Structure 1
Amino acid sequence: MTIFKTTEVSNPDFESNNLRFITVKSSNLKGRGDICVFVPPNKDLKDAPIITLLHGVYGSAWIWAHKAGVHFTALQMMQEEKIKPMVLAMPSDGLWGDGSAYLPHSDKDFETWITTDVNQAVIENIACTSKTSPLCIAGLSMGGYGALRLGAKYPEIYKGLSGHSSITTKSQMHLFVEEDESSYNQENLSDEDVFLLLQKNKLRLPPFRFDCGKDDILIEQNRRLHQLLKEEHIPHTYQEFEGKHEWSYWQEHIKDTLLFFDSLLD
């Protein structure tokens, strides 16, 4: 039984590079939402893991594939047997302003769109997935904030979390967007901060990692999050690499995320 009023799925005759596109009408978005999906070409694949990749500000469902070539990276890693076959679900954030921050606001629930609708849309339309498919979530910049925040808030949904060059609290959105920061306000202030949510649910968290480039605009915020987690004795992996807040960095270090998730799926 579908939860969507309407669903459109791309025709396999016109697809390329194992990418599929899904558009569903979501009650949480009060309109349509797009998902780009990498489907491994493996035969007889069942219950495949679903890895949700969240984009940053200004982006949409196509950007992980067509600015970072993540589908080529994943396929090569699968062919080299570095990772097991996995489906990559790359949704839009709801396309509000420069970025929704994956928070509920403006009379739309961008949070539940990601944690519920995206998973359901993939399971309904991608034959190699099912309700028993393991779920992981990752993202870059605003998407890293979304991945870490949603994974911390709903630890029962995901088996692993990963963030690249992540915003760590709502107050950093002003560095990237023109919309007023108050648009993102949450009734519960702890819902706006990655650390506070990780702290709140620290006994239930799935394994998580995050990284940042040494010349990234958000490096000090990521170092601060790492320090707070150490002080709170919350297990995690934090890494720094050469690089800035740019696609060449994310194209390279998404590999770390895929390897990390693969290690959790044994």
Structure 2
Amino acid sequence: MVDASPLPVFPIASGDRSPPMTIASVTFHSAAMGRNVSYQAIIPPGEGPPPPVVLQLHGSGDDHQSWLVNSRIAHYARAYRLLVVMPDGGSSGYLNYRSHDRRGRQRYEDLLMDDLPGNVAATFRVAVGPWGIGGLSMGGFGAMRLGLKYPERFASIWAHSGSFAEMPGLEEFVDGDDATVETVAIRLAGRPEQPVVSFDCGSEDSLLDANRAFHALLDRLGIAHRYLEHPGAHDWDYWDRHVGTALGQHDRVLNGSGSPRATTGPSPS
């Protein structure tokens, strides 16, 4: 089921004559989850070439509408030819769990990697090829982990305020042996497919040390990346200020207008 409507959300700057964006709300049955699931999509205007897809993940306690409600992501997306897909990931970390919850199966990685791409391709006119992936907090963890685990599927990664801190005992509840960003990064090192990797964190964020530690790990592994620190905390004001930059990277990588050179940023003092 698809419900598409013009975007009404944030005020547009005076004199901005960019074509309007459309927001679609989609509900479909997921075999991985054993139930109906929902996502929102920001659809670029025009009749040009099919746009590439960016998968944009929310944080814990939020849902598939949170990016649209709490940020100006749809306004920033007006500058780029991207179809931005925002699924509902609950508080899952976008992982596959062995146990079920009251709604049924909890196989969020399978949802994103197996079921969602087919539905997006069947519902919208999209480019064939790798996607971009981004997110904040829990969604930053999910974006980094999935992007590094599946470099053949994702060409561009950007995580804001990623929840990279250690979670002791997590793998007891998760299928597989790759539930952490550290594990997938170690396995990526030396592989020929290397996505463009960027991540940022606020200087007042409680996750700052974990992001610095992950930056140091990527340095040790020789995985090219860009790590940035900005003033700010773990809140929507911070994420709204920086998601437009992330969309710009995805556009450059996916639309072939020149990938930004992935470099290791200066180590924080």
Same fold, judged at TM 0.5 (above): yes
Give the corresponding residue for 1:186: 174
Does the alignment pair 1:9 with 2:2?
yes
Unaligned runs of 5+ in 2: 9-21, 100-104, 257-269
In structure 2, give the amino acid aligned to 1:16. L
Tell me the distance in 2 between the aligned counterparts of 1:59 and 1:231. 34
Give the corresponding residue for 1:197: 184
Choose which of 201, 205, 212 in structure 2 pairs with 1:223: 212
Choose which of 68, 92, 103 in structure 1 pairs with 2:95: 103
Which runs of structure 1 show a deviation greater than 4 angstroms over 4 or more consecutive aligned residues?
Answer: 181-184
Does the alignment pair 1:36 with 2:34?
no
TM-score (norm 2): 0.82
Give the corresponding residue for 1:62: 65
Choose which of 225, 230, 233 in structure 2 pairs with 1:241: 230
Choose which of 112, 116, 126 in structure 1 pairs with 2:114: 116
In structure 2, give the amino acid aligned to 1:123. A
Tell me the distance in 1 between the aligned counterparts of 2:234 and 2:28. 31
Report if aligned partners of 2:26, 2:38 keep a CA contact under 8 Å in 1: yes
Tell me the distance in 1 between the aligned counterparts of 2:244 and 2:235. 15
Task: Provide the secondary structure at the position in 2 that maps to 1:25.
Answer: strand
In structure 2, give the amino acid aligned to 1:118. L
Task: Please report how far the alpha carbon of residue 182 of structure 1 lies from its aligned counterpart in structure 2 after TM superposition.
Answer: 4.9
Does the alignment pair 1:85 with 2:49?
no
Tell me the distance in 1 between the aligned counterparts of 2:182 and 2:171. 21
Does the alignment pair 1:46 with 2:83?
no
Give the corresponding residue for 2:247: 258
Number of corresponding residues: 234
Structure with the higher fraction of residues in helix conformation: 1
In structure 2, give the amino acid aligned to 1:239. L
TM-score (norm 1): 0.82
In structure 2, give the amino acid aligned to 1:249. Y
CA distance change for structure 1 residues 183 and 60 in 2, over 3 Å: closer, same or farther?
farther
Name the Cα RMSD after superposition: 1.8
Does the alignment pair 1:21 with 2:25?
yes
Task: Provide the secondary structure at the position in 1 that maps to 2:167.
Answer: helix
